Structure 1
Amino acid sequence: MLAKLKQAALFIKRRPKRAVVVLMLVGFVVLNLLAYIHAHAMTHFVEGGERTPAPESLSWTQKVAVLATGVRLARPANHSTPNDFELQFTQHSFETSDGTNLSGWHIAADDSRGVCLFFHGYGAAKSSLLPEAGQFQRWGYDAFLVDFRGSGDSAGDVTTIGYLEADDVASAVEYVRANFADKPLWLYGRSMGSAAILRAIAEYDLKPSGVILECPFDRLLSTAQNRFAAMGLPGFPAAQLLVFWGGAQHGYSGFEHNPVDYAANVRCPVLVLGGEADPRVTQPQLRAVFDKLAGPKQIHIFEEVGHAAYLPAAPHTWEATVRSFLEAPQ
């Protein structure tokens, strides 16, 4: 070992320029390898075990371990059902255009005024939106909650942060329109679910009656950079490499997966909800999406709320804001 170190030192001394080039190449390869590992870990769910905690809650030693090995993303499960909220429901199963089997819950309302489809966030499942769905049902709207591919009771073990999930949104809309009465149709998304909705409207020409978006990120690159910022680390060039390899592993360009661009194709009424203290979707990023929306739009920022569900954080404000939007003349 000592002899090899001496040989390396001698090589650096005799050929310093070549040594610098070699070190740069080694560093480039190592950095790309780490980015590939992280991209795979962040888009592939694993069975069992616990999910890696949020970056803000990790110690420095834990952060170093995560940087070396990547996060552990446990496959999201439904930890409750509508029955736990005293809501009657029916179970549904349908396929996307690429043959992925998806699971949905339908919660019917008496004298229904319409149906709202609910789409969950990254690393979650449809049960995470049961409180919101229950409130819609009490207001007289059917609720249809969907597990994205890889989550809950749906097939697969992969997430693409809203890219392929747009197909899930379009397939769910098609299924609901084919199997339920012709009623006004609303879409409700949280974080990744919001991104998937925006892409689905842009790519599949969906025409819902209205859309409610919780904390939609503006660009996939932005959300990657925000994650590094949460760990107290510089985002460049790691965030760029993470986005590149994440897209490459799933057959798309991560740099073109930008809800802010999709938003320009959305002409139906939209309510955008955001958290004032959200480190994952900053106020400028949220406003960028809102500004690009082409149709009637409203925005509400919840004070002192981070990247979290707004109904439990501020129930009275959420109820007043959402109900007012639903009942406004469209």
Structure 2
Amino acid sequence: MRSQQLLRYGRRTLVLAAVLFAGLNVVAAFHAWRFTHFTTEAGAHTNNPEQLTPLQKLGVLLTGIKNPKPVNQQRPDFPYATLYLRSPNGRLECWYGPVARPRGTVALFHGYTSSKGKLLTEATHFRRLGYNVLLIDFAGNGGSEGTVCTVGHHEATDVATVVRWLQQRPGPVFIYANSMGAVATLRAEAELGVRPTANVLECPYGSMLETAQSRFRSMHVPSFPMANLLVFWGGVENNFWAFDLDATAYAARVTTPTLLLWGTADARVTRPETDAIFAALQGPKQRLDFAGSGHEPYWWKHKALWEHTVAGFIDNYAR
């Protein structure tokens, strides 16, 4: 009799565990879709996790983030032309700002839920230094086609498209990229054979799993198993193995001279992640940490230092 009760209890436990596991997968798949697919509805994007109130965090956990397609709110105040390049991910909208007697061209790549219009200060600085600039909207962002964002994986082919187009023209080609754009750059160089003259990379995350875990930590929610399930479904829904989206592994195959920048108050990209990426880089490399800066443009708090460091690095490779 007792053995039958134990058997029934064991079966109920297994059923409940299976239902719970299935429910977690449904929730993770839903969140992964919202995270990697922008909507075409107008509206504000959900604030960063560290900016949410406890009630807002609960709402995000239940309903997913609001993720409208990023738009370009600003236009260059320097002369530019709008260009369109054909990537495997769709048509990319770019702004090309040439200068007289250029020393080369800097291609600028934005981060997650951003657009090329957010990089105008950086582009203006590069133009002052004597470089043409090409600002790019990744596929799914700004004026480019699509609504899908894979946080660096598919975007690597956009980087490859742009760099190869620029390399058909005179002068060295430099990459300036932050966050997602920096990860896409590392993958483009490690796996797609892209070879720019030099990189300036700001706050690339260590891996897709680490960045998912970071978002849960910032909401003060345990990351396991939901972060793992989120990464799994994000890859399945977008046709790649997201656990291999790993900037540290890519860096170990990158020989391009690279300047790696990071903010010491970054809540989304940790020092160990940054240390590992920098240690893995195989080419000439330089690093600078910006005290007190978070996951944000470093010129906000350290304008002179950022300008001097970036100028000194790329000028060294433009000679």
TM-score of the aligned structures, taking structure 1 as reference length:
0.92
CA distance in 2, matches of 1:99, 1:192: 16
Identity between Structure 1 and Structure 2 (%)? 40
Quote how far apart the aligned CAs of 1:15 are.
2.7
Unaligned runs of 5+ in 2: none
Matching residue within 287, 297, 311 for 1:299: 287
Matching residue within 9, 13, 18 for 2:11: 18
Which residue of structure 2 aligns with residue 165 of structure 1?
A: 155
Alignment deviations for residues 96-119 of structure 1 (CA, whole Å, 9 cap, x no partner)? 1x2610010011122100000000
Alignment deviations for residues 186-229 of structure 1 (CA, whole Å, 9 cap, x no partner)? 01111000000000011221111100000011111000000000
Which residue of structure 2 aligns with residue 118 of structure 1?
A: 108
Which residue of structure 1 aligns with residue 145 of structure 2?
A: 155
Matching residue within 206, 219, 238 for 2:194: 206
Alignment deviations for residues 223-255 of structure 1 (CA, whole Å, 9 cap, x no partner)? 000000000011111110000000000011111
SS of the equivalent of 1:95 reads strand
SS of the equivalent of 2:135 reads strand
Unaligned runs of 5+ in 1: 1-11
Which residue of structure 2 aligns with residue 268 of structure 1?
A: 256
CA distance in 1, matches of 2:51, 2:267: 13
Structure 1 pair 89/211, CA: closer, same or farther in 2 (3 Å)? Answer: same
SS of the equivalent of 2:151 reads coil
CA distance in 1, matches of 2:73, 2:6: 61
The one-letter code sitting in structure 2 at the alignment partner of 1:134 is T
For the pair 1:92 / 2:83, whether they are aligned, the reply is yes
The one-letter code sitting in structure 1 at the alignment partner of 2:245 is H
Which residue of structure 2 aligns with residue 9 of structure 1?
A: none
Which residue of structure 2 aligns with residue 174 of structure 1?
A: 164
Quote how far apart the aligned CAs of 1:19 are.
1.6
Give the aligned CA root-mean-square deviation in angstroms.
Answer: 1.5
Alignment deviations for residues 24-62 of structure 1 (CA, whole Å, 9 cap, x no partner)? 111101100110010000001012111111111212221
SS of the equivalent of 2:286 reads strand
CA distance in 2, matches of 1:270, 1:319: 16
Structure-to-structure mapping, 1:50-199, within 5 angstroms: 50-83=44-77, 87-96=78-87, 98=88, 100-178=90-168, 181-199=169-187
For the pair 1:49 / 2:37, whether they are aligned, the reply is no
The one-letter code sitting in structure 1 at the alignment partner of 2:161 is S
Matching residue within 282, 296, 299 for 1:311: 299
Question: Which stretch has the larger CA shift, 263-272 or 186-195?
Answer: 263-272
Work out whether residues 89 and 139 of structure 2, in 8 Å CA contact, stay in contact via their aligned partners in 1: no
